[in-house]
Amino acid sequence: MFFLHAGRPQRPVGVSRAILSLGLILLIAAGLAAAQSVPPSNRQLADPAIERKVNALLKQMTLEEKLGQLVQYNDSGYSAPASPDDVDGARMAANPTAAEHVDSMQLAASGRLGSMLNTVGKERTNAFQRVAVEKSRLHIPLLFGADIIHGFRTIYPQPLGLAASWDPTLVEHLSRISAGEAVTAGVRWFYSPMVDVSRDSRWGRITESAGEDPYLGSAMAAAYVRGYQQNDLSKPDSVAACVKHYAAYGAAEAGREYNTTDMSESRLRQVYLPPYKAAVEAGAASMMSSFNSLNGLPATANPYLMNTILRQQWGFDGLVISDYTAIMELRAHGIALDAATAARKALLAGVDVDMMSHYYDTELPALIKSGKVPMAVVDEAVRRVLRVKFALGLFEHPYAEGPEVTAAVAAHRPLVRQAAEESFVLLQNKDANGHPVLPLANDTKTVALIGPLADDEGQMVGSWSAGGRESEVVTMRKALEARAKQQGSTLLYARGTDIDGRSEAGFAEAVSAAQKADLVLMALGESGEMSSEGGSRSILGLPGNQQKLLAAVVATGKPVVLLAFSGRALTLPWEAEHVAAIMAVWFPGTEAGNALASVLYGDVAPSGKLPISFPRNVGQEPLYYAELFTGRPPTGVDLTHFPKGEERFRSRYVDVPNDALFPFGFGLSYTTFDYRDVAVSRAELPVREARGTKPLVVATATVTNTGKVEATEVVECYVRDMGASLAQPVRSLKGFTRVTLKPGESKKVSFNLGFDELSFFTNEGKAVIEPSEYTVWIGGSSTATGHANFTVTP
């Protein structure tokens, strides 16, 4: 048994009560009952046969049993508050004598528990399930959910690293093996994928995201859902996806965890909502509300997000669960003065399940009796939970069956290794003479491996590593020692310093190893917990004294390769100036060392591309490529009409260039690629034809491998819309594909640009195409130069 999610300390809140008018409540209830304007997102959940079963069961349920389906606890259950003022659940759980404690087994036996959080393991889940199914009056099974983010036992790169692969098919396959492992331990519900767009690397949870771009993020979101659910929740090795954190959690101001977000409707719809919508369209069975407020209203109490957009406009028919104690935290947000108000606002906003707050089961009975919460709202929330349980087949097969996966699976290691190889992004590869340092020659006699991340099993998997075991991780040192033995070469190792070290006691050993070597590999970067929930950083360089260690090694004059481990973009301007080669390797997972050895020695050419922009310094954050034009951009506009000396008044920094050190979509290979013949299928598109689902314009280009090794290139397509009624980004990603080419081989690639790719959102929330001029770029990064143009005519 292990625990995947630590409790969060609670903050003191007030106790006075605010009451909403009955008329407003009835208006919200009417909205909940309104017919959806679009077809259901998951046809399985909308199956009439399932609906008949749900309604038949609902008619038999008491109010207590209904509310039981709307609460989630972990193994410990809950401690009832000793007084109405005492709502610090985390403190009471640590001190059960402070209040009456109710165990989860008791709750399950009496039908007062619908799902459990991070209760994992065949024996443990079956014990709880047996009590629920055999002892409760209606025999309703429990649903076990867990924070399984990037693998269950066999751990693959964290989501930001996977996004660097630009390979949704790979992500779908990885998700499939993760689900297959976890169901053997009783888990049928993953709190994944996290699809929050984030453009600020100060935010620690960017490691769980696909980075800064909504198009790439949407592709990844859909891939996770397809992999987890297989388009059939009833399959015994399928799990229900829970898409999080809805919505705009990744836009936290200043990159500070749980912070507020505020934005226009256009930006919300165009940048932050698309990945959630893509996951819904892929059939996601559930969503999780986010901690943050959006435009002043916390998401967990936001009916516009949950009901208007999610359910009515997108047709979502799954369940919505709060994040950990998020309903309780409505009081800390300041929009609820007591537990009853928080529970009422969350449920009426469309949050079906209360995770760990202990508000729905205690507060809703009185609210229902008083008429402040309509029974119809409760019934519909219960229906949503039961639909998922019936769709998963839990009533027929409630228990974990067959052998439990308790260790990394050997048959899964090759795919996990491939994922790590595809995730690595080669950022720089040129010595002082302009010659590439990588790949390493097989006849390199002596290699020095230096750094705190060279032989640390625990750090290779990053945060949220579920049931992965450190002892099963292949570190760089292990893999390179095996390689050296095979090749008859020598590997020298020195730790040098700790990840956040201050002592220089290990520097001398590291410098000595470097002096004896032909080449030095520096394994530097963050710890997993630095890039994680609660891991916001205001300084994005190498932690501790790692850069000082690096400088000491560089001073030996030996060629140095920096392998940067992180869950975010780091600031590496000194490193880029002084180090020959740099590779972003994220946290690669169980097969970290083997994957790194394969790429370093050229068995596999790197193909990763950055899913986030790497800044020159933290003062540029939030930094992203798809920025809007200003009236005075830093380049490209003639300002010579300004009075002499005033040309400096542009939108720029005076101490650093505006652009990224390493831009979004960038990544080198061991070969080179050439792009030519970028074209579009038409020069003009009448606006009256700009509708429907068919391609409106087809963009094409020819890409050629101009180097000496076979390699894979991620071909990227960007679009700019000039002349629209709202300013649009300088360019936006609208397509990508992976192409593998032999030396000298060429391939013509094409991208279908339809309404979704060419439209933008107004501040009324409407997607439109207007008469304007479009530019299309195709190339190997967001700075691609080959382009073609077309016009949307009136």
Which are the catalytic amino acids? Answer: 323
Two tokens, residue 461: 């998997």
Two tokens, residue 538: 């205001």
> Whole-angstrom Cα distance, residue 457 to residue 463?
13
Cα pseudo-dihedral 221, 224, 227, 233, rounded to 10:
-80
Torsions phi, psi for 66 (to 5 deg)? -65, -45
With tokens 């919300």, the residue in question is: 268
Cα angle, residue 190 at apex, residues 186 and 195 outer, rounded to 5°: 170
Helix (H) or strand (E) holding 428: strand 425-429
Spacing of C-alpha 347 from chain mean position = 26
* Closest C-alpha among 555, 199, 614, 593 to residue 420: 593
* Closest C-alpha among 539, 540, 538, 560 to residue 549: 560
Name the DSSP class of 411: G
Cβ neighbours, 10 Å, residue 430:
13
Name the DSSP class of 242: E
* Closest C-alpha among 690, 141, 110 to residue 399: 141
* Closest C-alpha among 109, 162, 261, 63 to residue 462: 162
Cα pseudo-dihedral 158, 159, 161, 167, rounded to 10:
130
Spacing of C-alpha 315 from chain mean position = 23
Cα distance from N-terminal residue to C-terminal residue, the chain:
64
Two tokens, residue 659: 């652009």
Tell whether omega for the bond before 573 is within 30 degrees of 0, i.e. cis.
Answer: no
Q: Which residues in 712-728 are b (16+ Cβ under 10 Å) and which e?
A: bbbbbbbbbbeebebeb
- How many helices (H) and strands (E) the chain has is answered by 23, 28
Cα angle, residue 615 at apex, residues 611 and 619 outer, rounded to 5°: 135
* Closest C-alpha among 254, 261, 262 to residue 201: 254
Cα pseudo-dihedral 89, 91, 95, 99, rounded to 10:
-40
Is residue 586 within 8 A of residue 201, CB to CB? The reply is no
Give every CB contact of residue 28 below 8 A, 6+ residues apart in sequence. 303, 307, 348, 349, 377
3-state helix/strand/coil string of 674-690? EEEEEEECCCEEEHHHC
Is residue 350 within 8 A of residue 286, CB to CB? The reply is no
Is residue 109 within 8 A of residue 40, CB to CB? The reply is no
> Whole-angstrom Cα distance, residue 674 to residue 85?
68
> Whole-angstrom Cα distance, residue 735 to residue 216?
8
> Whole-angstrom Cα distance, residue 357 to residue 324?
7
Amino acid at 679: A
For residue 698, how many C-alpha atoms fall within 13 Å in the half-sphere facing its CB?
7
Give every CB contact of residue 554 below 8 A, 6+ residues apart in sequence. 560, 578, 579
Alpha helices in 350-456, H assignment, sequence order = 360-370, 375-391, 413-423
Residues β-bridged to residue 722: 773
